[in-house]
Amino acid sequence: MSCARAAVARPLWRLRTGARRPLSAYGRKIGVRFCSSRMTLDNINWAVVDRIIRVDHAGEYGANRIYAGQMAVLGRTSVGPVIQKMWDQEKDHLKKFNELMVAFRVRPTILMPFWNVVGFALGAGTALLGKEGAMACTVAVEESIAHHYNNQIRTLMEEDPEKYEELLQIIKKFRDEELEHHDIGLDHDAELAPAYALLKSIIQVGCSAAIYLSERF
């Protein structure tokens, strides 16, 4: 059975040994399968998985809105293609967490409408400071998200690295891509933004608050 037909045959995929729904059905760039681990819907730590998927979905949604705001201001400038490329990766990240939410029956945070507006405003607002401002925002946000993903990796490793192997692979891959975005921001003069250190600190306090709230609500 082809991957596409398998996806149609199992619209609500269940995690269990032998469940051969390829992860490629969730994201083009991940070539592993959720069939090798001992993770099933019955044996996962629901509190941990529920929190991780909800907050990561919210974070990737927020990142998408930030890049949308940046593109609205800087899309036609020389950094437009750079921002677009990062945004495209964020779209893949969000798509993956959308699909994991369905698979694990996790509800989104009630704060989604808020992150919609705040994310766009943050992206557009920093972009109005110039490309350096936009890149400073990228550095601040991506550093926070990478740190957040590292915390989740530690949590899952402490829980059971074998059981959560595939979820760990997804989070590690996304963590690495967020770090690439962080480095792209630095390479594009983020540190030349007005009041860079202060701007970065303020944005990172906001990210911490967003993570705290999205995990709980």
The residues that bridge with 22 in the sheet, in sequence order, are: 33
182 binds Fe ion (CB under 5 A): no
Backbone angles phi, psi at 33, to 5 degrees: -120, 150
Distance CA 20, CA 199 (A): 46
Annotation-wise, does 147 bind a ligand?
A: no
What stretch of H or E contains 16?
Answer: none
In the complex with Fe ion, the residue whose CB is nearer, 124 or 145, is: 145
The region of 39-47, 125-133, 151-159, 173-181 touching Fe ion under the rule CB under 5 A is 173-181
Q: Which of 178, 196, 210, 211 binds Fe ion (CB under 5 A)?
A: 178
How far apart, in Å, are the Cα atoms of 10 and each of 1, 36, 143, 159? 12, 18, 37, 28
* Gap between the Cα atoms of 67 and 122, Å rounded: 9
Interface with Fe ion (CB under 5 A), residue from 181, 193, 199, 210: 181
To the nearest whole angstrom, how small is the minimum distance from the Cβ of residue 179 to Fe ion?
9
Is 93 known as a binding-site position?
yes
159 contact partners, CB below 8 Å, separation of at least 6: 45, 48
User: Residue 115 is encoded by which pair of tokens?
Assistant: 């992150």
Return the residues of window 134-153 that contact Fe ion according to CB under 5 A. Answer: 142
Binding residue for Fe ion, selected from 93, 96, 148, 163, defined by CB under 5 A: 93
90 contacts Fe ion (rule: CB under 5 A): yes
Distance in Å, CB of 60 to Fe ion, minimum: 5
Judged by the rule CB under 5 A, the positions of this chain that interact with Fe ion are: 60, 63, 90, 93, 142, 178, 181
